Each structure stands twice: as structure tokens, then as C-alpha cells.
Amino acid sequence: MLPRMTARATRDTGLTLRELLAFDEGGILRLLLAPSGQDVAITGMIIGEEGAARSYEGRIVLAVGVLPSVNDFIREAAGRGAVAVVLRDDPSLDPAPEDVQAEPGPGTGAEAGAVAVAERAGVALLARAAWADWDDVATLVRSAAAYAGAGRGDRMADVTAGGGLAALASAVAEFTGGSITIEDTAFRVLAYSAIGPEADELRRSTILGGRVPDWRVEELRRSGLLRTLWSSDEVIHRPADGSSPERLIIAIRSGREMLGSIWAAADAGGPFTEGAARALRRAAEVAVPYLVQHRLRESGARRREEHALRALLAGRGDMSTHAWTLGLAPDQPCAVVIADPTDLAHPPTPAPPVSITPPPAPPAAASAAPSAATVAASSAAVTPAATSATADGQREAVVERTMGLLAVQAVSYRAGIRVLRDGGRVMALVPVRRGAERDVLALARELDTLAASLGGAAQGAGPVWVGAGPVVPSPLRAADSRADAELVVRVLRERAASVAQEPAAGVGPAGGGGTADDRRAAGEGWAAGEGRGPRRYASAGELGAALDVQRVLDAVRPVWERGSGPVYDLVRADLAAGGELVRSLAAYLDASCDVGRAAKRLVLHPNTLRYRLRRVRDRYGVDLDDPDVRLMLTLAVRLATRPPR
């Protein structure tokens, strides 16, 4: 005879702090202080500050929002009967009160001060993990309470409490007379009952593979069973079909949120028990906190790694801890590769005063009949704004799809690569094997090839720039490689803009102040199948001095913006007038002060250029024979014609 489920008995003790912390396998909360021990009962939750009339008796209070004083918040919560307070885990807390001498220990001085205040108030204090948010904490508390209050005296709940989902699967198999699998929404097997010799092949392959085979998921989707499962609270019956035995299925939900499902197969040949449907409904209730815990644990691990990777690449926090979280040895060489799309909102365009544009049309042209191009432009001007918004949305969708595929490509390039999506960019931390430093540039090349093959530029989304930072000896220095990779992307983007600004004749200095080396480098390393065009990927080693020049320009810019004198007067006045002298000086300095070469690039007669150079001396008092002045002019031209980072 199969056992019967007895009526559920409810607990009246509530959730304890100890049970909450034990349920938190993902590390969302960190206990700082428990002055009354961990067996205090938590009867409810308060989110943020509530009205003075609301009692906090027996509740855990989440310090949500911007608080005028964290220490005052702790005192007030304790005074209103709270048993625990949860703070966000960062150092932006109040300093320790002057009348409280905090004991030395881990954490910031602000944290120690908050602990001291909580100890005096007699309230437990916890900190939320930096990678978690308040929704995670609230979900954790509610799920832990559901787990603690699942009941005692109900054999299914009792057995599950002692052994988790595996015990639940075995208990459900006993109550239903079938073989059980418990799966999450990705159809991964979380628990299953014993496999008998009569188990069908699908059940065996599902359990051995750890998930339902893709072909089976697609079959269930086409049949409409999955749609029924996701939208129903009832037990679904699927009759036997050939070698596939009869099945009962039920969804596991927390409110409206789908968490997973329980599948029962009558693979022993006999029918299900009379109470099988009732047992499955109860099992779906009992399973909820366990699947929430599974989801929190998975989400927590993923977000903890993302937080560690973001901090490691930014050079922020405890580098050793971040590397350990990512499973990286402190002596593991690594490099950073960055793929950065064209900024659609702020495309890299040259500074207007410096761009080389054709002269304005003579007055007579104004009265001439409009050209076809003019008519087309006029038609575009009256196009509804919605058309432009739609086009922008389509371009953004193209960029998002492209960057998503680049992230997948980077992850799959080699085991151990960690990828972060950051502000539209894709950043990959690449562990480098000894002697395999060229793998970093190879990854950059692959990302460029994939981006080009997706045709984003042809769809108005612009190119993707890929920079490979240098190999550093330790992940603790990953931020250095990331900074250089960002610099590579900037240089590639500026060189492409420089090439785009050159005169139609194909000669002349870049309006962005690029050197001859800039223009040569911009034309090297064409992507496969793309023909000639600006290079879109490079390594820090390939660009050489260009990165150092960019660093110098970044460092000098604040000095330039505050300065005054003849060179400043020349550059500012000429840019305001159109930039003719600045362009001429750029070509002259770029040609190592060779008037003939510079004039050829500008498509000018040498005497015209000499006249302009005399104007520089006569009008502004700038002596081009002075090497210091030439150096200052070189920096000034670069700074004036390149946008700040």
C-alpha cells in the first residue's frame, strides 16, 4: 500500500535569522552582527521607511533608498521593534559616532561604526552583497519564509526539508507510482527519482545528459504542450504514445513567475495512483522555495562573477579577491580585447572649423533651378519624424544583435575567456598561455571579421572597432590592458575619421591632425572581403608610439585649455575664421617642414603655402624656426582638431 499524505501543520515560530542565512546559498547577505543570537524569529519584512504608526516588531528592515543617516536609521528601526536591519554593502555609510569606540576588525570605518550602533541598539545587522539588488534580498526573505513555513506533519514537506529536491523527487515517485524529473525553465534536470530497468529511452537520455534533448523541446513546443504548461496551474495529462509512456506534468510557480516543472512518467507499465494529481499539486507547492533558491544561487554566481570582472577591469576594489572569484591564478598572464560599436548618438565627426569642405556656391547659383539632389533633400526634410525614429531604432537593433553575437563569439573562442557587456561594448578578459600571445590579436581579428560579415555598416550602424590590449603578467593588472585596449579603439576611430576628411584628390593632411604614419597605418590590415578601407582592429603593440602620443595629448589638454600666448591666439582665431592656417601648419609640420611636400598634400602652389606661413609669423608673432614653438604648434594642432575623450 502506498503511503498517504497527512494534513499539513503550520509553524508558529516564523523564520529565524539562522534559517534565512542557511537558505542564502548565493551569498546575497553577509551577517555583521547578531547581538541576540541567530535564533531570533523574523515575522515579516519592511522595505524602506514606513509611517511612524507602523510597527516594526519582529521584522527585518531593508535600508532602501538614500538615507540622511544610516546610524539614525538603525536606531529608529531598533526602537520600533525590528530584529534585523539590512544595509547595502558599500563604504558610503555614516562615520562612527564620536561616543562609540568601534572595535577594530574587517570592513570600513563606516561599517564598523554602523556595527557599533547596532550593537548598542540590540538589533542584528546584515549587509547586502555589492552585486545584488534589493529585489534579490526581498525575494530571498520571502522564499526563505516560504521554505520555513512549508509545514511539518506533511510527509512530503518533511522529507523534502531533510533532503532537498532529490528527496522530493523520490517522495513524489512514491506517492504517484511514476518516475519523476524536476526541471527548471531551461529544461535542465535538477532532481530525479531512481531509474528502473523499465525506464524509457527519453528519460534515460534526459537524466544522463542533464537536460531534455533539444529535439524533444522543439517537439513539445510544436505540439502546443509547452504553451499549455506555461499558462496552466493544473496537472496536464499526456497519454502514452508508442514507446513514450503516459505522463503527468505540472508547472512550478511563485505567483505569476514560472520556475520550472515536474514530470511524472508511468514507465513501469502500470497506471498512476489514484491521488497522483493531488500529490503533484502539493509537490509543486513544496518545490517553490527550492527552485527560487536554485535561481538565486545561479543568478548570484553569475552576477558575482560579472561584478568581479567589472571591478577587475576597472582596477577597483580587492584585485586578488576578484581574480579568485573568477578562478584566475594571480600569476596567470592575460589580456583584454574590446569591441566598441560606432556611437550612433554621437558619431565621430571632425571638428567643423577644421573639416575641408568645398567653397560655397556663387550667388548666381542661388537663383538657379533646384537640382535633383536639392529636391531629394527637400523631400527628406518633410519626412515625418517617426521615419527617422524608426530608422534609428532599426540601427540600434542591428548594433545590439551584432554586439550580442560578438560576445558569444568571444566566449566560444577558447575556454576560460570571460566576457562583459558594458555600455554597448564587449570586453573580453583572455587568459594567455605561455608563448601564445598572438592568440589575443587573433581573437580581435575574428571579432572584426564577424562584425564585418554581419553587415552592420551597410545597414547604417557603422563599423565596430576592436582593440587588443597588451598581455600583462597577472589578472591583477588587467585594468592596464583594458586601458590600452580602449586607447587602441580611440586611435583606430580617429585615424578612420582622418582618412574620411582627406581631400578628394587623395592627398592632404587629415583634418583631425593625423600624421603620415597615421594615414599609412589607417590603410593597413584590411578585413577579409572588405577591400580597402580604414583598419578596424589592431593590437597595442602594432600601434606603437601612437598610443603614447594619445596619452601625452590627454595629459596636455588641460594645460592647453588654460593657456594663453601667440600660439593660442593663432589657433583660436584661425579656427574661428575657418581653419585655413591650422590646416596649412598641420601639413607643413607633418611634412617635416618641407614646403614642397606640404604644398603637394594641400594641392597648393608652394608660394601660396609660403605666403600663409609668413602670415603666421607676421600677424601672430609665431617663430616657426624655434624648435620649442614648432613642438607647441604640433601639440596645439593635434589638440585643437581632435575632440576630447
pLDDT digits 0-9 by tens, 38-60: 999 999 999 887 777 778 999 99
Beta partners for residue 537, in sequence order = 466
* 644/586 Cα distance (integer angstroms): 18
pLDDT tens track for 111-126:
788 899 999 999 999 9
The pLDDT of residue 324 is above 90: yes
The grid coordinates of residue 56 equal 516594526
Looking at 148, 179, 198, which one is the last position of a domain? 148
What is the chain's mean pLDDT, rounded?
79
The pLDDT of residue 618 is above 60: yes
Report the domain count for the chain: 4
Q: What is the pLDDT of residue 512?
A: 38
Q: Assess if residue 523 is contained within a domain.
A: yes
* 206/211 Cα distance (integer angstroms): 5
Q: Is 538 left (phi over 0), alpha (psi -120 to 50) or beta?
A: beta
From the list 130, 86, 138, the residue with the least C-alpha distance to 305 is 130
From the list 2, 34, 1, the residue with the least C-alpha distance to 18 is 34
CA-CA-CA-CA torsion for 627, 630, 636, 641, nearest 10 degrees?
A: -150
Q: What is the pLDDT of residue 113?
A: 85
Task: Give the max Cα distance, the chain.
Answer: 111
Beta partners for residue 334, in sequence order = 431, 472
- Same domain? For 143 and 113 the reply is yes
* 177/264 Cα distance (integer angstroms): 9
| Residue with grid cell 598581455, as numbered in its chain | 471
- Same domain? For 131 and 108 the reply is yes
Helix (H) or strand (E) holding 8: none
Contact 591, 601 (CB under 8 A): yes
The grid coordinates of residue 254 equal 511563485
Overall average pLDDT of the 387-401 stretch: 74
Q: Assess if residue 83 is contained within a domain.
A: yes
Overall average pLDDT of the 438-453 stretch: 90
Q: What is the pLDDT of residue 530?
A: 42
The pLDDT of residue 357 is above 60: no
Q: Assess if residue 550 is contained within a domain.
A: no
Write down how long the chain is.
645
pLDDT tens track for 172-213:
998 998 899 999 988 999 999 987 777 778 888 888 889 998
- Same domain? For 413 and 449 the reply is yes
* 69/64 Cα distance (integer angstroms): 12
Q: Assess if residue 366 is contained within a domain.
A: no
Can you give 276-314 as a three-state secondary structure string? HHHHHHHHHHHHHHHHHHHHHHHHHHHHHHHHHHHHHHH
pLDDT tens track for 78-114:
999 999 999 987 544 444 444 444 333 344 556 788 8
- Same domain? For 140 and 166 the reply is no
Q: What is the pLDDT of residue 284?
A: 92
CATH number of the domain at 236, please. Answer: 3.30.450.40
* 121/34 Cα distance (integer angstroms): 11
Confidence of residue 278 (pLDDT cuts 50, 70, 90): very high
Quick one: 168 exposed, middle or buried, by C-beta within 10 A (0-12, 13-18, 19+)? buried
Q: Assess if residue 82 is contained within a domain.
A: yes
The grid coordinates of residue 393 equal 531604432
From the list 297, 331, 3, the residue with the least C-alpha distance to 175 is 3
- Same domain? For 494 and 624 the reply is no
CATH number of the domain at 618, please. Answer: 1.10.10.2840
Q: What is the pLDDT of residue 268?
A: 66
CATH number of the domain at 124, please. Answer: 3.40.1390.10
Q: What is the pLDDT of residue 336?
A: 96
pLDDT tens track for 519-556:
444 444 433 334 456 789 999 988 888 888 888 888 88
Q: Please report, rounded to a whole number, the percentage of residues in the chain having pLDDT higher than 90.
A: 28
- Same domain? For 79 and 115 the reply is yes
Q: What is the pLDDT of residue 419?
A: 94
- Same domain? For 608 and 510 the reply is no
Looking at 148, 170, 188, which one is the last position of a domain? 148
CATH number of the domain at 402, please. Answer: 3.30.70.270
Contact 475, 334 (CB under 8 A): yes
From the list 506, 409, 511, the residue with the least C-alpha distance to 464 is 409
Q: What is the pLDDT of residue 391?
A: 66
Q: Assess if residue 554 is contained within a domain.
A: no
Q: What is the pLDDT of residue 150?
A: 61
The pLDDT of residue 347 is above 50: no
- Same domain? For 240 and 275 the reply is yes
- Same domain? For 24 and 107 the reply is yes
Q: What is the pLDDT of residue 320?
A: 92
Q: Which domain holds residue 132?
A: 15-148
Residue 355 is classified by DSSP as S
Confidence of residue 593 (pLDDT cuts 50, 70, 90): confident
pLDDT tens track for 203-238:
888 888 899 988 988 888 898 888 888 888 899 998
Pairing verdict, β 425-431 and 418-422 = antiparallel
CA-CA-CA-CA torsion for 110, 112, 113, 114, nearest 10 degrees?
A: 90
Contact 89, 134 (CB under 8 A): no
Q: Assess if residue 303 is contained within a domain.
A: no
Looking at 511, 543, 575, which one is the last position of a domain? 543
Q: What is the pTM of this model?
A: 0.64
Q: What is the pLDDT of residue 180?
A: 92
Q: Which of 254-258, 499-503, 611-615 has the lowest mean pLDDT?
A: 499-503
Contact 534, 496 (CB under 8 A): yes
**Which is more confident, 619 or 384?**
619
Residue 188 is classified by DSSP as B
3-state secondary structure (DSSP) of residue 221: helix
- Same domain? For 290 and 426 the reply is no
Pairing verdict, β 464-468 and 537-539 = parallel
Contact 59, 45 (CB under 8 A): yes
Q: What is the pLDDT of residue 430?
A: 95
Q: What is the pLDDT of residue 507?
A: 38
Q: Please report, rounded to a whole number, the percentage of residues in the chain having pLDDT higher than 70.
A: 78
- Same domain? For 128 and 199 the reply is no
Count of H helices and E strands in the chain?
Answer: 23, 17
Q: Looking at mean pLDDT, say which of 332-336, 345-349, 586-590, 597-601 comes out highest.
A: 332-336
Contact 338, 485 (CB under 8 A): yes
- Same domain? For 234 and 201 the reply is yes
Q: Assess if residue 574 is contained within a domain.
A: yes
The pLDDT of residue 164 is above 50: yes
Contact 20, 45 (CB under 8 A): no
Question: HSE of 516 in the Cβ direction (CA atoms, 13 Å)?
Answer: 9
396: Cβ contacts below 8 Å, ≥ 6 apart: 344
Confidence of residue 594 (pLDDT cuts 50, 70, 90): confident
CA 391 to chain centre: 25
Long-range contacts of 108-113 (CB under 8 A, 24+ apart): 110/70, 111/32, 113/71
Q: What is the pLDDT of residue 181?
A: 93
| Phi–psi pair at 395, nearest 5 degrees | -65, -40
Confidence of residue 389 (pLDDT cuts 50, 70, 90): low
The CB density around residue 45, as the number of other CB atoms within 10 Å, is 17
